[in-house]
Structure 1
Amino acid sequence: MEFKNKLEEKGLIFNELEGKAGDFKKKWEEVFLNNISKSQKKKIKIDSFLWHIFSYEKLPCLKGEEAIEAFDKQTKKECYIFEQHEDNAFKVMNTHKLKAKDITTELGEYLSDIYIVSSCFTWTYIVTHEKECGPYFYKKED
C-alpha cells in the first residue's frame, strides 16, 4: 500500500490493522450516512464509492481548497485511515502531524480514494482519485 510508505516518511506513529478496512467503511457509512435512505444510497452508487455522498451533494461539506484548509486546521489526535479498495486500515496516534499535502504525490496528485476519520467519527477528510471531485471535509454538528 503506497499510503503506508507516506505515513512512514512523515514519521507518523501508526498500527496497521489487517483486514479491518471493511469494518471502518461500515462504521463510516453508519455514522455519516445515517439520514440517507437506502434508495438514495443506491441511486448515487454509494457501494462504488462512499464519497459519492459528497459529489452528489447529498450531505453538505467543504470542497477543494476549503476542505484542505479545514483539515489542516482541524485539531487531530488519533484517527483511522482506510482506502476505498484496500483491505487494511491504519490507526494513527500522532495525527496532529498529518497535513493534506502528505496525502499527495510529488506531482500534487492524490494517491487513491483515501478516507481519514477521527477516532470518535466526528469528522472526515476524503481525497479521491478524480481531480474534479474533492477533496472533501465534513464535520458533524455538535
Structure 2
Amino acid sequence: MQKKIIDYMADSVVEEISDDAIEKIMKDWESVYCPLSKKEKEKICFGDFKWHVFSNKSYKSIEGEKALKEYNNKVSRIFYVIPEIKIWPKEKAFMCKNLPPSELATKLKDFYVFPKNLAWSMAFTHEHRWLGPYFAKHKNFKILNMKNIQSVEAIDRGW
C-alpha cells in the first residue's frame, strides 16, 4: 500500500483539515492564483488539476528545479498541505509546522503547499519532471513573505 503524504509528515502535523475547511481554503487560493472566469478555467482544464493554471501560463510561476530551490527557502509558522481530493480521495489535507520536504515531489501525487497567508504556493504534480512542480508568488509576495519571516523570528526569540 502506497504511503499517504500525511504519513511523511507525521511528526509535524498540527491538525487535519475538514472537507468544509478545504473548500474554503481552496476558494481563497483560487481567488489569488486563478482569478479567471469560469470559461477561462474550463479552457485550461482547471477543474481537473488546479496546477493547470501554472502549466498553461495563466498565472506566472517557475517550474522544476528552480521551483524546488525557491520552495526550499520558504518559512512560515504553519503550512497548508492540500491534495487534489478528487484525484486522490484517500489523501488527507492537513496543517503542519515544518515545510514538507521537496523530495515529496517524487511521490507523483498532486498536492499544494502554501502558508496560511497565501504569500506563495507550491504545486507538486503527478507529472514530476515533465510538468511541474510549480512555484508561484502572491502579487503582494514581499509584504506577505516578510510577515511570515517575522512571525518565525518572533517564535525563535520566544516572543
Please give the TM-score of this superposition, normalised by the length of structure 2.
0.75
What is the rounded CA distance, in whole Å, between the counterparts of 1:90 and 1:25 in structure 2?
Answer: 13
4+ aligned runs moved over 4 Å, structure 1: none
Question: Aligned partner of 1:32: which letter?
Answer: Y
Task: Give per-residue Cα distances to partners, 1:87-108, cap 9 Å, x unaligned.
Answer: 742111x225x3312x24xxxx
Shift of 1:59: 1.0
- How many percent identity over aligned positions? 25
Counterpart contact for 1:123–1:140, Cα < 8 Å: yes
1:11-50 aligned at under 5 Å gives the runs 11-19=11-19, 20-34=21-35, 36-50=36-50
The Cα RMSD (Å) is 1.8
Counterpart contact for 2:15–2:94, Cα < 8 Å: yes
1:62 and 2:55 correspond: no
Shift of 1:18: 2.7
Unaligned ranges ≥5, structure 1: none
1:1-142 aligned at under 5 Å gives the runs 2-8=4-10, 11-19=11-19, 20-34=21-35, 36-85=36-85, 86=89, 88-92=92-96, 94-96=97-99, 98-101=100-103, 103-104=104-105, 109-131=106-128, 132-142=130-140
What is the rounded CA distance, in whole Å, between the counterparts of 2:6 and 2:118 in structure 1?
Answer: 21
Question: Aligned partner of 2:114: which letter?
Answer: V
Counterpart contact for 2:6–2:13, Cα < 8 Å: no
Task: Give per-residue Cα distances to partners, 1:30-82, cap 9 Å, x unaligned.
Answer: 22112x22221110111111000011111110100000000001123211111
The secondary structure found in structure 1 opposite 2:28 is: helix
Please give the TM-score of this superposition, normalised by the length of structure 1.
0.83
The secondary structure found in structure 2 opposite 1:95 is: coil
Counterpart contact for 1:21–1:88, Cα < 8 Å: no
Distance 1:18 1:120, change over 3 A: same
What is the rounded CA distance, in whole Å, between the counterparts of 1:23 and 1:141 in structure 2?
Answer: 20
Deviates more, 1:44-53 or 1:79-88: 79-88
* Higher Rg of the two aligned structures: 2
